Amino acid sequence: LKPIRQGGKGGGEQRPLAGSWAPMQRAGGLTAALLGALRCAAGRSEHDVVVLDIYRAMEASKVGLMREEDDDVADLGGVLKYVHTEILAEHLLGPPNRRTRKYGIDCIRRHRYWVKNPPAVLGSKLQVFVDFGPFVTFDSGVATNRAQLPLLRRYGSWVGAQTGCVGGLNCDPRFPSEVPYFWFSVGNRCPNLRWHTKRDSGGSANSHCLRSTNDTTFTSGGLCPHGDGVEVKPTGEDGCVYSYGEADVLRLDDLVGIRDADCGHRPCGDWEDFRHNCTHSEYRRQFTGRGGETRRVHYCVEYDIHPACAAGCHGADCKAVLASGDGVELGLPFWRGRCDATANVRRMEQLAHAFRVPGARNQHRIHDEALYASGKTCRPAGSLACLPVPARGGPYCSRQFSGVCLPCFIPGSAQGPARAEPFCPLDVLAADDYRMLPRPICGSREPRDLCCLYLGTCDGEADPEQASLDDDGLALVAARRNTRDMARFLQRAAVAAGRHKLANASGLREAAYWQWGRAPLGRTLAQALGGAEAYLALPPRPPGAW
């Protein structure tokens, strides 16, 4: 990682998914007295400054050349999804003699942001995820959704958010994921003009910049004065809703293994060197774009995917290819398994580890816990957002998803939510927002129904040496969130099932790590054993890879 002052637009253009997941505000089923008590138990009287790590894929040489304004960025999962789906698939790109990745992207940049949106936005129907406004689509600095311009004139700039994938909803069909990821928009002055035209030659605002509703002034900006590259605490007032610190920059070539590849008795130096000089014959193949045919090429391919799966993983043709066992992907091992939701999470964790996120390789943490463990409420006083109905098991909200207050549910409650709705982290009830609230009402004490895991009221033994070798035992051991315990339990289960190769595998502990999570995975024992075997069957990966 290399610290670099500031950062700005460079390389490719973000293409986020449309729509957003607004916080749910249900209070049905609560008595008036209880509702009043819950309001009183809500958090502080105003919104806190929210701290986030925000990422962008770009050209490293352009980091620091421009301020980060009127742009679309992402969290860690979102930026990895963008690179994997928009930048790499060889048979969709050209020309073959190009010298860089698409848009010249060669790095991922991270900034730590401080955000406090205007009270007028957070007190209106524009509010999403407690602390944010609606996502604004920017292209080269221009807000492209003209329907949002009247809102920008009225409210000024804000930091917006939307989900890219939550509980199987709104997910890009090309990139399934077991954890949510997000897009963010950061707005500043003059959202109707491209970056290079926002200011005149003297540095003043262009006279054509968007004006406020009363037409007497330009719309207020969002970036705090002197807030680019240093920590400035935003006030939420006009002209100061976000700031960001210095950039950390990670070279993609280091992350994906290009610099570990051989380029003639020496490591490849960069993408262009790999492209033309790598000695691995298996990398000199790509799909033709016609059916599943491949062809030999004179250059090395970082990644390609079968045309049947290029546009989505859920179509009948793609499912048939995946089931056949035929080659679905070509290129570097790091990128293999784009249609595998667990594999995509593995890549997220490796990226988090490369950015030195604590717990990325042994606790399933892809965001710095210090950012959301500081007591920032998801329930400002008087707000009904994130107010759970005990029999429904939610909606709760947790900042463990990128620091954003994402609505989630405790599965298996008496009037349980659909399984597609995101499961809360197992420790959600320990959050300050929920310690004093009524506990959820579970539909059973069976561990496989998951609800009792949050309360510690399940029937059965959680000790991996004693846990029953069934779905209940798996759920209890997984809730311990301990890889050693999971490995021992899976070893016992594999022996009992006659799967001795798995039971004796040297990599069982590594495989066991992927059978538990911060929230319940909802897997059966058969699925967990199969998942462990599938992990052990993966092709060799470079040292340090997932």
Q: What is the 3-state secondary structure (H, E, C) of 336-358?
A: CCCCCHHHHHHHHHHHHHHCCCC
CA distance 244 to 285: 42
At residue 413, the 3 state secondary structure works out as strand
Whether 368 is covered by a domain: the verdict is no
Are residues 411 and 498 both part of a single domain?
Answer: no
Whether 209 is covered by a domain: the verdict is yes
Whether 219 is covered by a domain: the verdict is yes
**Is 383:408 a contact under the CB 8 Å cutoff?**
no
Are residues 277 and 382 both part of a single domain?
Answer: no
Q: What was the pLDDT predicted at 374?
A: 62
Q: What was the pLDDT predicted at 86?
A: 97
Q: What was the pLDDT predicted at 375?
A: 63
**Which of 389, 415, 441 is at the close of a domain?**
441
Whether 350 is covered by a domain: the verdict is no
Series of mean pLDDT values for 10-residue runs along the chain (546 residues) = 39 34 36 44 63 97 93 97 97 94 98 96 94 95 93 94 82 92 93 89 83 82 89 91 96 97 97 97 92 93 97 94 89 95 96 97 93 79 84 94 93 83 93 93 97 98 98 99 98 98 96 97 97 89 58
Whether 457 is covered by a domain: the verdict is yes
**Which of 252, 283, 309 is at the close of a domain?**
252
Q: How many CB atoms lie within 10 A of CB 423?
A: 25
Q: What was the pLDDT predicted at 543?
A: 54
Q: Where are the extended beta strands (E) located within 222-278?
A: 223-228, 242-244, 247-251
Whether 41 is covered by a domain: the verdict is no
Entry pTM: 0.89
Are residues 207 and 109 both part of a single domain?
Answer: yes
Are residues 111 and 247 both part of a single domain?
Answer: yes
Are residues 429 and 461 both part of a single domain?
Answer: no
Supply φ then ψ for residue 509, to 5 degrees: -65, -40
CA distance 489 to 465: 7
Q: What was the pLDDT predicted at 230?
A: 79
Whether 3 is covered by a domain: the verdict is no
Are residues 106 and 242 both part of a single domain?
Answer: yes
Are residues 109 and 197 both part of a single domain?
Answer: yes
Are residues 432 and 490 both part of a single domain?
Answer: no
Whether 269 is covered by a domain: the verdict is yes
At residue 472, the 3 state secondary structure works out as helix
Q: What was the pLDDT predicted at 458?
A: 98
Are residues 212 and 307 both part of a single domain?
Answer: no
Supply φ then ψ for residue 330, to 5 degrees: -130, 160
Total count of domains within the chain:
4
**Is 192:141 a contact under the CB 8 Å cutoff?**
no
**Is 176:169 a contact under the CB 8 Å cutoff?**
no
**Which of 209, 228, 252 is at the close of a domain?**
252
CA distance 273 to 177: 32
Are residues 235 and 274 both part of a single domain?
Answer: no
Residue 400 belongs to domain spanning: 377-441
Q: What was the pLDDT predicted at 176?
A: 93
Are residues 499 and 396 both part of a single domain?
Answer: no
DSSP H or E segment with residue 308: helix 307-310
CA distance 55 to 449: 36
CA distance 486 to 510: 10
CA distance 282 to 484: 36
Are residues 458 and 437 both part of a single domain?
Answer: no
